């Protein structure tokens, strides 16, 4: 076993000017795409709102998925993740800022959600009104964000406190709070998926929809963690991250891509089999009018990572793993597109154009900017964590 003094010291991360300029340019590109879409192309308003909504969701999913990943590992007392823990902590801290992005899209709620037009609800929506009404929806929105933000901030606080004043009470609180987060997340992640995505097609329902969205969220977050880990390792910020860490992250990407496919086929198969019009309407719309994206979705999110990440070498080769992570990330963006656009915009107006490709750059820049600010604030690795040595020196069997 390694001694602590033999472990190389990380280079403190500096959110430099060059990096800020790059992010600024990316954000500018995104805003420009939005402005062109609004003023030059004059796209229908629901397409603009749907894009803002979609990107806000993706932004939230990355932070929330990372927070979930960290709490799972904390709860499982896993040692391997200590070296990349600060990445997940900092990603989790972006959750409170996602509120702003959601609020930006709020004026478009009437365009996005049919059930908000309370004056002419049909019979099915009248029955759902006890749950799907704007005041209750807003209360739930506030509760989800309040709780998630609280957990993200509190857990980070405990983790950083342990840096300066190592004490097992902080680690105990980390563990216990992770458990409570897990309980809340189990319910809230499903309910948020109903509220923000499933209710776009308000007449349709699927019982495993929450899980389906969760699995996509988790895979996207793991893909981003992989990309940041590889970049930080390349620049020497995390010198203790080695092939073993990448191997473990790659296994998560591989395994949960299969899990996503499992839920995808479970949802599709049952609806296809029972062939009830009120359920099949969801897939009929997507297969007939969004056919290409529908099949690309399955190929990019299941077939590709399944075959590409099968071997051990693939998960340990940084550049290769990064390319796979990028493709899977794009795949899950398309998955979200497929969940929102057919219902919110309709096939007459929806397409992938400048707005869909350009706008994400603003959100990527915002996410990375916030992430770097938070990552800079603490040590790159929690050096006083009792598992730190083991995390720097372990091997996969």
Q: Do 293 and 220 contact (CB within 8 A), yes or no?
A: no
- Tell me whether residue 15 or residue 394 sits nearer to other proteins (CB atom): 394
- Tell me whether residue 184 or residue 268 sits nearer to other proteins (CB atom): 268
Q: Which two tokens stand for residue 166?
A: 């190592």
- Tell me whether residue 164 or residue 273 sits nearer to other proteins (CB atom): 273
DSSP labels, 91-122? HHTTHHHHHHHHHHHGGGHHHH-GGG-GGG--
| Residue 306 lies near other proteins (rule: CB under 8 A) | no
| Residue 304 lies near other proteins (rule: CB under 8 A) | no
Q: Taking the complex as a whole, how short is the minimal distance between the CB of residue 190 and other proteins, in angstroms?
A: 24
Q: What is the 3-state secondary structure (H, E, C) of 241-270?
A: CCHHHHHHHHHHHHHHHHHHHHHHHHHHHH
| Residue 15 lies near other proteins (rule: CB under 8 A) | no
Q: Taking the complex as a whole, how short is the minimal distance between the CB of residue 210 and other proteins, in angstroms?
A: 22
Q: Taking the complex as a whole, how short is the minimal distance between the CB of residue 257 and other proteins, in angstroms?
A: 15
Q: Taking the complex as a whole, how short is the minimal distance between the CB of residue 4 and other proteins, in angstroms?
A: 16
Cα 280 to Cα 278: distance, rounded to the nearest angstrom:
6
- Tell me whether residue 234 or residue 312 sits nearer to other proteins (CB atom): 312
Residues 128-167 that bind other proteins (CB under 8 A): none
| Neighbouring residues of 263: CB distance < 8 A, sequence distance ≥ 6 | 208, 211, 212, 215
Q: Tell me, residue by residue from 94 to 133, as one string, x for binding to other proteins by CB under 8 A and - for no binding.
A: ----------------------------------------
Q: Taking the complex as a whole, how short is the minimal distance between the CB of residue 272 and other proteins, in angstroms?
A: 5
- Tell me whether residue 93 or residue 253 sits nearer to other proteins (CB atom): 253
Residue among 21, 42, 118, 311 that touches other proteins (CB under 8 A): 311
Q: Which two tokens stand for residue 347?
A: 């096939």
Q: Taking the complex as a whole, how short is the minimal distance between the CB of residue 266 and other proteins, in angstroms?
A: 9
Residue among 142, 310, 357, 373 that touches other proteins (CB under 8 A): 310
Determine phi and psi for 99, rounding to 5 degrees: -55, -45
Determine phi and psi for 156, rounding to 5 degrees: -60, -40
Helix-strand-coil percent breakdown of the chain, rounded to 5?
A: 80, 0, 20
Residues 259-298 that bind other proteins (CB under 8 A): 265, 268-269, 272-273, 275
Q: Taking the complex as a whole, how short is the minimal distance between the CB of residue 388 and other proteins, in angstroms?
A: 17
- Tell me whether residue 14 or residue 312 sits nearer to other proteins (CB atom): 312
Q: Which two tokens stand for residue 147?
A: 């709780």
Of 169-177, 309-317, 323-331, 339-347, the window that binds other proteins (rule: CB under 8 A) is 309-317
Of 70-78, 115-123, 340-348, 388-396, the window that binds other proteins (rule: CB under 8 A) is 388-396
Task: Let me know how long the chain is.
Answer: 397
| Residue 78 lies near other proteins (rule: CB under 8 A) | no
- Tell me whether residue 138 or residue 310 sits nearer to other proteins (CB atom): 310
| Neighbouring residues of 357: CB distance < 8 A, sequence distance ≥ 6 | 33
Between the CA atoms of 355, 305, 253 and 333, what dihedral angle is there, to the nearest 10 degrees? 10
Q: Taking the complex as a whole, how short is the minimal distance between the CB of residue 397 and other proteins, in angstroms?
A: 6
Q: Do 394 and 79 contact (CB within 8 A), yes or no?
A: yes
Q: Taking the complex as a whole, how short is the minimal distance between the CB of residue 80 and other proteins, in angstroms?
A: 11
Between the CA atoms of 112, 115, 117 and 118, what dihedral angle is there, to the nearest 10 degrees? -160
Residue among 14, 117, 127, 312 that touches other proteins (CB under 8 A): 312
Total residues contacting other proteins by CB under 8 A comes to 14
Between the CA atoms of 39, 43, 45 and 51, what dihedral angle is there, to the nearest 10 degrees? -100
- Tell me whether residue 376 or residue 390 sits nearer to other proteins (CB atom): 390
Q: Do 336 and 300 contact (CB within 8 A), yes or no?
A: no
Give the interface with other proteins as residue ranges (CB under 8 A).
Answer: 1, 265, 268-269, 272-273, 275, 310-312, 394-397
């Amino acid at each position: 076993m390694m001694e602590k003094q033999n472990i190389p010291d990380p280079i403190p991360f500096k959110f430099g000017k060059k990096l800020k300029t790059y992010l600024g340019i990316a954000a500018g590109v995104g805003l420009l795409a939005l402005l062109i879409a609004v003023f030059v192309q004059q796209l229908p308003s629901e397409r603009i709102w749907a894009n803002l909504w979609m990107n806000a969701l993706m932004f939230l999913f990355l932070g929330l998925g990372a927070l979930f990943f960290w709490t799972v590992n904390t709860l499982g007392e896993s040692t391997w993740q200590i070296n990349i823990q600060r990445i997940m902590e900092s990603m989790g801290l972006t959750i409170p800022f996602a509120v702003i992005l959601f609020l930006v899209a709020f004026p478009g709620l009437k365009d996005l959600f049919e059930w908000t037009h309370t004056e002419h609800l049909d019979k099915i929506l009248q029955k759902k009104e006890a749950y799907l009404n704007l005041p209750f929806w807003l209360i739930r929105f506030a509760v989800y964000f309040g709780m998630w933000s609280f957990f993200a901030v509190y857990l980070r606080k405990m983790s950083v406190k342990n840096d300066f004043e190592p004490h097992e009470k902080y680690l105990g609180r980390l563990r216990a709070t992770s458990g409570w987060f897990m309980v809340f997340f189990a319910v809230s992640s499903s309910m948020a998926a109903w509220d923000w995505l499933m209710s776009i097609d308000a007449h349709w329902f699927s019982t495993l929809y929450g899980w389906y969205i969760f699995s996509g969220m988790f895979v996207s977050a793991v893909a981003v963690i992989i990309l940041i880990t590889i970049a930080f390792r390349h620049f020497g910020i995390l010198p203790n991250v080695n092939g073993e860490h990448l191997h473990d992250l790659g296994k998560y990407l591989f395994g949960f891509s299969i899990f996503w496919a499992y839920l995808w086929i479970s949802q599709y198969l049952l609806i296809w089999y029972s062939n009830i019009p009120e359920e099949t309407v969801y897939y009929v719309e997507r297969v007939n009018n969004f056919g290409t994206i529908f099949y690309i979705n399955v190929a990019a999110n299941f077939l590709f990572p399944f075959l590409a990440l099968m071997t051990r070498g693939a998960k340990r080769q940084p550049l290769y793993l990064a390319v796979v992570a990028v493709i899977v990330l794009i795949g899950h963006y398309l998955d979200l597109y497929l969940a929102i656009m057919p219902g919110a915009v309709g096939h007459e107006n929806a397409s992938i154009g400048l707005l869909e490709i350009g706008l994400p750059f603003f959100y990527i820049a915002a996410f990375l900017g916030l992430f770097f600010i938070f990552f800079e604030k603490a040590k790159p690795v929690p050096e006083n964590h009792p598992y730190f040595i083991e995390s720097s020196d372990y091997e996969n069997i």
